[in-house]
Structure 1
Amino acid sequence: MIKEQLNILINLAASDMTVGDHESKIIHMIGKANGLSKDDVDAMMKAPKPVGDLSVFSEDQKFENLYHLIQLMKADGQVFKSEISFCEEIAEKLGYKKGVVAELSSRIYSDPTITADRNMLMERARRFLK
């Protein structure tokens, strides 16, 4: 499951046609925390796969995907329209309405060491489930 989640993040990072250093570090950090080697993550970043069926994820997994996706979108300090559109597209594939991205994005920080109240964010996200 972690490879599918990382693949989504890699697709987002590449959606503005460049993967920034900070974005790459976050992707590697998430991969390492979930038992993937640097070489595994590098291989995935060199050849990202299309985003598949996300309906198989549990509600918690869907939220975690969305959380990390928004965090990565903000990682390089610049948010491009293409990144917002990609996040909204993935949010819909995860079963949320597009508006969840705007709702959560103001409360999710680009620095992974700064954490928001996950339970509060999950409750807010639930309001946007289809």
Structure 2
Amino acid sequence: MVQTQLKMLIQLATTDNELAEKEVKMIHQIGKANGLTDEEVDELMKNPRPLGPLDTLSEDQRFEYLYSLVQLMKIDGKVYKSEIVFCEEMSEKLGYKKAAVSELSAKIYSDPSITSDRESLKAKLRKLSNR
């Protein structure tokens, strides 16, 4: 499942045709935290593959995927319309309304070391779930 998450993040990171160093670093951190080597992550970035099915994800996985997407969108300090649209599309594919992106975006900081209260955000997103 981590490869699906990384594929999503890689797609988001490349929507603005500019792969920022902070974006690459975050993608590598998530890969490493889930047991992938830097080489495996680099291979995913060089050869992006289509996403697999998302309907088998647990509620926690769906939340984590969307949370990491919004965090990556904001990490370089620039948010492009194409990134917002991509996140909203992924939000719907993950079973949330588009409004979930703005809800998370208001509470997630561009600096990943500043963490948000994930449990309260999860509770808010449950109300924005299509499932």
**Could you tell me the TM-score, scaled by structure 2's length?**
0.96
Task: State the percentage of identical aligned residues.
Answer: 56
CA deviation after TM superposition for structure 1 residue 110, in Å:
1.9
Partners of 2:43 and 2:29 in 1: how far apart? Answer: 15
For 2:71, the equivalent position in structure 1 comes to 71
Q: Unpaired segments of 5 or more residues in structure 2?
A: none
Deviation string 1:90-115 (CA, Å, 9 cap, x unpaired) is 00000000011011101011222111
Tell me how many residue pairs correspond in the alignment: 130
Instruction: Please list, as runs of the form range in 1=range in 2, the aligned pairs for 1:1-130 lying within 5 A after superposition.
Output: 1-130=1-130
Partners of 1:79 and 1:49 in 2: how far apart? Answer: 24
- Give structure 1 regions of 4+ aligned residues with deviation exceeding 3 angstroms: none
Q: Unpaired segments of 5 or more residues in structure 1?
A: none
Partners of 2:8 and 2:68 in 1: how far apart? Answer: 10
User: Residue 75 of structure 2 contacts residue 112 of structure 2 at CA under 8 Å; is this kept in 1?
Assistant: no
Give the secondary structure class of the aligned counterpart of 1:15.
Answer: coil
Partners of 1:10 and 1:96 in 2: how far apart? Answer: 20
CA deviation after TM superposition for structure 1 residue 35, in Å:
0.7
The one-letter code sitting in structure 1 at the alignment partner of 2:69 is: L
- Structural RMSD (CA): 0.8
Partners of 1:101 and 1:52 in 2: how far apart? Answer: 21
CA deviation after TM superposition for structure 1 residue 52, in Å:
3.0
Partners of 1:62 and 1:14 in 2: how far apart? Answer: 21
